[in-house]
Structure 1
Amino acid sequence: MSYQVLARKWRPKTFREMAGQNHVLKALINALDHDRLHHAYLFTGTRGVGKTTIARILAKCLNCEVGVSSEPCGQCHACVAINEGRFVDLLEVDAASRTKVEDTREILDNVQYTPSQGRYKVYLIDEVHMLSSSSFNALLKTLEEPPAHVKFLLATTDPQKLPATILSRCLQFNLKNLTAERIVDYLKTILEKEMVHYEEPSLWLLGRAADGSMRDALSLTDQAIAFGSGKLAENDVRQMLGTIDHGSVYRLIEAFAASDGAALLAIVADLAEMGADFAGVVSELLVVLHRLAVAQTVAEGLDNSLGDRQRIIDLAATVTAEDVQFYYQMALAGRRDMGLAPDPRAGLEMLLLRMLAFKPQGVIDGPRQALPRAKSAAEVAAPVKKLLANEAEPAVAALPAQAAPVNVEAASVQQASNLVQPPRAEPVNNSVQPGPVRSDSIAPWEEQPATPELHSEPVVSASLAPATTPAETRLVEQAVNRPAAPVSTAPLSPEKPSIAAVANSEKVSLTVFSEQIWREQFEQFNLPGMLGSIAGHCQLIEKTETSLVFNIDESNAALLNDRHIERLGEMLSEYFAANLQVSVHIAATPTETPAAYRQRCLDERLVIAKEALIADPMVNRLIAEFDGVLDPESVQLLS
């Protein structure tokens, strides 16, 4: 029997055997199982991602003799005939070779006749965008109102070329490019069944070279098996593909980190001996630098698409984030200029040496002290108001003390006070212990003493008009430092009774874990980075002893991927000390998520803070005496 290539031998026969495209398969499976079938389907996507395969499986589901379902039996006459490509009522049309309107009319003349063997007559038109305008016009009416026994399955790699009138008559499914991880997993399964020995790094090379196409990956695998005499070795596959060893790229970055120019030139010499494409080296360098930047910024977002996740994480710890960004920008510009170099090797060496020569060697500290400004005439001539001079301090001292302080920013007030009041020479008295330093006795060129942290509760910041004299400044400072009405830090207006008795900063058990605890005690689970941001928009829907089910709104699910769900399951399993199966569905969240709950609590605290400032007698006195204005929009919770 003649050899059958892997791409044909291992073409999926059922939806379960498909690799990826779950967003398409889910819609088709539900439509088949609930008898909600459309008369025309359009599958779009790049080459080799499964458009024609899904169409053939759908045709088999429609015509299986057991009945219409998402799982055809695979044994009946219709299933076997479709698998072998000889089913009479499945008409596959290559639109690229039959573009004329006469061809289209010939096909449509038989639409009115009932199927010969199957339940439906299925027209599978591949590369439908190649049809002429006349052919589309001939197809329109039939495509809109076909007989009940006819289904149209259209496939194209270029949906932009289809008329809007065709698109509006079809259910459109866009098939995505497959990730390198999914391709590698599928290749492992096939090679184990084929009993072909392989080295895993060779599969990552093939998965990346396939560029999202499973058919290309299988074709390259066929070629690599032949190249390696029945086995897949990394060096053989790398030589076949002409790709650069990433180990050389890693060594380049390590040489950058060590500022070792001799090592850089030695690595380039090794690449020259292997006949490397020097422009390709720059491209691979950009790929690795990008992965380093991701690892340093959002480690959870780093995939294993090149099989080097752990090495990237280790390398990211040796290079600063600023250097990575610098190297990336230099390499990006250098790749553009490679064609201008008289010799490709010299162009690469000059690029690497330029990156080393211009590597930032440190940043000089910026000025830390503000320069004193000249006093204006109004500041010099402004009199001290009699009321403030005689009565301000006693009036402030008589104010009642309360609990938590309200901190009002008065940096500009302090600066004005310093400029008006010159430094004073105090008599030396060794018998007197140094006391507190008054704010109006510090020279403008002297460093201000740090204000001690008085509390850890959320405080409030607001903007007030600056004072211009020492007396005014003292009044403002006393208003800043006087105790004011406390701002509660507890969650406000919860929908249910407080769960402090349940959690109370202690570890939550799986037994009492609930949607309310997830919402109100979310910080206890210590979910980091992007994972924490995504999880904060998830709502707990269902809990069992072995599983947790969450919903996330579609508007917050753009960055959600399988790795986030897997990582969430790992961290919650570790927290609860149980083996939990965690799933996240994109669906409506009828009640508050942790993120929404936190934002509501902050908004309510901010409202109370604004009301407290507006009602504060000292703030009102400042406004009255200085014709000031309190800007409510400037009030912020500092923590």
Structure 2
Amino acid sequence: MDNFIVSARKYRPVTFDSVVGQSHITNTLKNAIHNNQLAQAFLFCGPRGVGKTTCARILAKTINCEQISDNTEACGECNSCRSFQNGNSFSIHELDAASNNSVEDIRSLIDQVRIPPQTGKYKIYIIDEVHMLSQQAFNAFLKTLEEPPTYAIFILATTEKHKILPTILSRCQIFDFNRIQVEDMANHLARIANNEGISYENDGLHVIAQKADGGLRDALSMFDQIVSFSNKEITYRAVIDNLNILDYDYYFDLLQYIVQQDAAQALLVFDKVLTNGFDGGHFIAGLSAHLRNLLVAKEPSTIKLLEVGENIRKKYLEQSQQLNSGLLLSAMNIANQCEINYRTSKNHRLQVELALLKMCHIATAIKMSLAETSTEVDVKKKLTDKTPETASNSSATTNRSVQDASKPAAVADSTTPAQDYVNTSAQSASSSIAQSNTIISNNLPAANAISAAQVASEKPVVSPSKGWGAMPAKKLLPDLNTILDQKEEQKEENELLQGSEFAEVDVEDFLKKWNAYAEFIKQENKITLYTIMTSSTPTLQGNTIEVEVENMVQMEEMKLGKVDILNHLRVQLRNYALEIKEVVTEKTKVRKPYTSQEKYQAMVSKNPALETLRKKFDLGLS
């Protein structure tokens, strides 16, 4: 029986053009040879199985070839090429740094470098897994690598570039090898299958290429394994069974059940996966990748990102049209969170099942959210879209409700300016729609009373005898609280109240209302704005209120708060033409002394005799 040669060795590239997926490197090397611009040292970096050592051997053979072809490839027929192919070349040396990593090994290499080549123009040294050299070996190699003889060329290869000393990196031309693309790998496997007379399915080859994760050597090893398993018939099913890979059909079926909100079938699919011996973490990771592929398939411009076979690509395109992006994004977020929590969870199965149940109820959650939003909008519209007559009647009813509700608390006997402001605002709520809106947006206690009165006038919310069990289906009170929060947020929209009243403003009345609102601001913990309002007395020039600020920080704070101030003052003073103007004070404040020298100078300015005392006793500052 003939000796079997694995595909990774049998179909190892022997020319630059036969290297798979590294054209950016092979073209550069061919140009360097053609232009006679070879570096003294090369460093090939990249993951396993992408062609580093192969390219190093092809480069070494081509450099010493006696009859280089027009497209800069080795002829394969000269003495140098034949001796290299037979493994007895005296000009090309390979060293495995993993087993020859000591200082003595490097010194032996340096002694060999001193001897010129017996045949060929160059003496080439290929050092594989160079990161395995010890630091002492690296240091011994530095001088030779920096200034080698003109006939010596070093080609270093490594999978872990970060472990190599920077002094070595600076002396080499560095080439970074990429992971080989799935499509390139599948095409290469197809060529080998054709040469060997093996029947295959493209989907099966794509699965092998994906499983290899960019390493062609791994793909060729799996290829040989499946050829033996399937008796030279590589099918999608044979690849799935032999490599123990989760079938795409599991995920396609699962997404159908998620769309149909069939949680029971979704759990049964996961149980089938576990029964077949797959890990739950592997399953949820595959589900995340499946959801990602569905999102990619929804856009024509991103379909090229699908690294799958043609039949699987069609399935993705069909299912992606049945799902909306919102559902896919929500499901992907749930799957990602499950994958993060999977390792720390004690019950792995429950973690995945919980994620599947959440995915099955995404559509219901979205519908409930939309329904709640619609209810809030309807209630808000019912409160705001009133005619002036209806609003006036409603305000009068609200006033009576507020008075009835406030009798036990004796709110009328208020003493503080802030309480005066609250009571005044509540009593003036029925004057106009603009005043009512001001109370809702600026006065939370009054707004709560209005909300309760409004709900009580339409439908009872709480029955004293039955408690919360009598709450209506629409749950108006929570919706009104939501609307009140939205009213609070509208304060940031910088909208001033507008009206037709332009009454003359009395200065004393203006200052009283100003100070009352300042006290209210203080209770709201807006200390900076309170300080600005009370640090100096504002002046009233016609309809313009001039407020003194000390710096730009205070000016910005005043600009942020003046909308609320104007809304209050316009209603209270019945003048909608009022405006606030910030004026930066011109007076220069005395800088407080901080250092010991500054404190001493301040004391001397008050008592000059202190300087005489210091000089007399020759004192210093500590």
Give yes or no for TM over 0.5. yes
Deviations 1:236-280 (A, max 9, x none): 221221110011111101111121223313423443453333332
Is the 8 Å Cα contact of residues 122 and 153 (structure 1) preserved in structure 2? Answer: yes
Instruction: State the partner residue of 1:28.
Output: 29
Q: CA deviation at 1:209?
A: 1.1
Counterpart amino acid of residue 8 in structure 1: R
Partner of 2:118: 116
Pairing partner for 1:325 from 325, 329, 343: 329
Q: What's the Cα RMSD here?
A: 3.3
User: What is the distance in 2 between the residues matched to 1:216 and 1:325?
Assistant: 33
**Paired residues, what number?**
394
Would you say the 8 A contact 1:20–1:178 is kept in 2? Answer: yes
Partner of 1:87 in structure 2? 89
Q: 1:508 is matched with which residue?
A: none
Q: Answer yes or no: is the 8 Å Cα contact 1:372–1:419 preserved in 2.
A: no
Distance 1:316 1:114 in 2: 65
Deviations 1:573-619 (A, max 9, x none): xxxxxxxxxxxxxxxxxxxxxxxxxxxxxxxxxxxxxxxxxxxxxxx
Cα deviation digits, residues 216-240 of structure 1 (max 9, x gap): 1001111111222233222222122
SS at match of 2:298: helix
Structure 1 unaligned regions, length at least 5: 374-417, 423-463, 473-625, 629-639
Equivalent residues in 2 for 1:180-199, closer than 5 Å? 180-199=182-201
Matched, 1:72 2:65: no
TM-score normalized by structure 1?
A: 0.57
- Match runs of 1:375-454 below 5 Å: none
| CA pair 339-110 structure 1, distance change in 2 beyond 3 A | closer
- Matches of 1:332 and 1:147, distance apart in 2: 56
**203, 217, 228: which is aligned to 1:226?**
228
* Secondary structure at 2:228 match in 1: helix
Counterpart AA for 1:361: I
Structure-2 residue corresponding to 1:96:
98
Following superposition, the deviation at residue 144 of structure 1 comes to 1.0
1:67-102 Cα distance to aligned partner (Å, 9 max, x none): 487211111121222233322211100001011101
Within 5 A, what are the aligned runs for 1:166-565?
166-296=168-298, 299-300=301-302, 302-307=304-309, 308-338=312-342, 345-359=349-363, 360-362=365-367, 363-364=369-370, 365=373
Tell me the secondary structure at the aligned position of residue 207 of structure 1.
helix
Contact 1:64 1:76 in 2 (8 A): yes
**1:13–1:83 Cα contact (<8 Å) kept:** no
Deviations 1:32-75 (A, max 9, x none): 11111111110000110000000111011101011487211111
Match of 2:44 in 1: 43
**Higher alpha-carbon Rg:** 2
TM-fit CA distance, 1:356 = 1.6
Distance 1:265 1:120, change over 3 A: same
Q: Distance in 2 between matches of 1:469 and 1:358?
A: 47
- For 2:271 and 2:135, locate their aligned partners in 1 and report how far apart those are by CA, in whole Å: 57
- Using the alignment, how far apart are the partners of 2:362 and 2:142 within structure 1? 63
**Aligned partner of 2:147: which letter?**
E
1:41–1:170 Cα contact (<8 Å) kept: yes
Query: Sequence identity of aligned pairs in percent?
Result: 33
- Rounded to whole Å, the distance in 2 between the matches of 1:57 and 1:470 is 90
CA contact (8 A) 2:45 2:161 kept: yes
Where does residue 162 of structure 1 map in the other structure? 164
- Per-residue deviation at 1:129? 0.7
* Contact 2:123–2:152 (CA under 8 A) maintained in structure 1: yes
Structure 2 distance, partners of 1:76, 1:467, is 95
2:8 is aligned to 7
Superposed CA deviations along residues 493-515 of structure 1, whole A, max 9, x for unmatched, are xxxxxxxxxxxxxxxxxxxxxxx
Which residue does the alignment assign to 1:484?
Answer: none
Shift of 1:158: 0.5
For residue 4 of structure 2, give the secondary structure of its aligned residue in structure 1: coil
Query: Shift of residue 353 of structure 1?
Result: 1.7
Q: Retained in 2: the 8 A contact 1:56–1:82?
A: no
How far is 1:419 from its partner? 6.1
CA distance in 2, matches of 1:354, 1:304: 27
CA deviation digits over 1:337-388, x for unaligned, max 9? Answer: 4456676555543331232235433242467789979xxxxxxxxxxxxxxx
Q: Deviation string for 1:388-444 (max 9, x for gaps)?
A: xxxxxxxxxxxxxxxxxxxxxxxxxxxxxx969x9xxxxxxxxxxxxxxxxxxxxxx
